[in-house]
Amino acid sequence: MTVLPITIWGEPVLHRRAAEVEVFDDDLRTLIADMFETNDKANGVGLAAPQVGVGRRLFVYKFENDDGAPPSGVIINPVLTLSKISGALPDPDEEEEGCLSFPGGQFPLKRAEWARVQGFDGDGNPVDFEATDWFARVIQHEYDHLDGKLYVNRLIDRYARKATKLAKKSGWGVPGLTWMPGVDPDPFGH
């Protein structure tokens, strides 16, 4: 298994819809194994293929949950069904998200509290489970990457302005920027 560099906000693959996975082969299984290794080394709870420069519709997750879903897995070509998202302002103490592709930034975001996840595993077998609370948030966050969105694209104005300032100060927003888990300092201080 190989640890892959993680792309940073501004890399084109992060900002466009990923293509469906059509072939379930050894190359795909190698990518999945590398993504798990990268996610572990980055202390992540999830990692989508565009975050490692691959424009395909798959993500891995590692999150203990009370929903009866495996604590780690891969979802290929996912389809999500969500509960309604509250119109209330996000709670800055309880609903703060971060992203490995927006390293070090953490901002509050309102998400659906329930998600049904359907898709396939690395061998093409169907996957179907429900996720609630923070697990649902993780699933939605990774799914957004497959549609070319980062969580910062969903922030309310005051947090969006702060995210924009952080990106500008960090020099992001241009192609070619990455960080390497296990080599570069952990942007979240794990």
Q: Domain for residue 184, yes or no?
A: no
User: Residues in the chain with pLDDT < 50?
Assistant: none
* Catalytic center residues: 142
Query: Residue 41: its pLDDT value, please?
Result: 97
Q: Domain for residue 190, yes or no?
A: no
Q: Domain for residue 179, yes or no?
A: no
pTM of this prediction? 0.96
Annotated binding site for Fe cation: 99, 141, 145
Q: Domain for residue 186, yes or no?
A: no
Query: Residue 142: its pLDDT value, please?
Result: 98
Share of the chain above pLDDT 90, in %: 96
CATH number assigned to the domain comprising residue 20: 3.90.45.10
Query: Residue 65: its pLDDT value, please?
Result: 95
Phi then psi dihedrals of residue 179, to 5 deg: -135, 155
Cβ partners under 8 Å of residue 120, min gap 6 = 21, 24, 75, 76, 77, 126, 127
Q: Domain for residue 98, yes or no?
A: yes
Return the closest-CA partner of residue 115 out of 69, 59, 153: 69
Return the closest-CA partner of residue 42 out of 180, 138, 141, 139: 180
Annotated binding site: 99, 141, 145
Query: Residue 190: its pLDDT value, please?
Result: 78
Q: Domain for residue 119, yes or no?
A: yes
Number of domains present in the structure of the chain: 1
Domain that holds residue 117: 6-171
Q: Domain for residue 182, yes or no?
A: no
Q: Are 145 and 39 in contact (CB under 8 A)?
A: no
pLDDT tens-place string over residues 130-166: 999 999 999 999 999 999 999 999 999 999 999 999 9
Q: Domain for residue 177, yes or no?
A: no
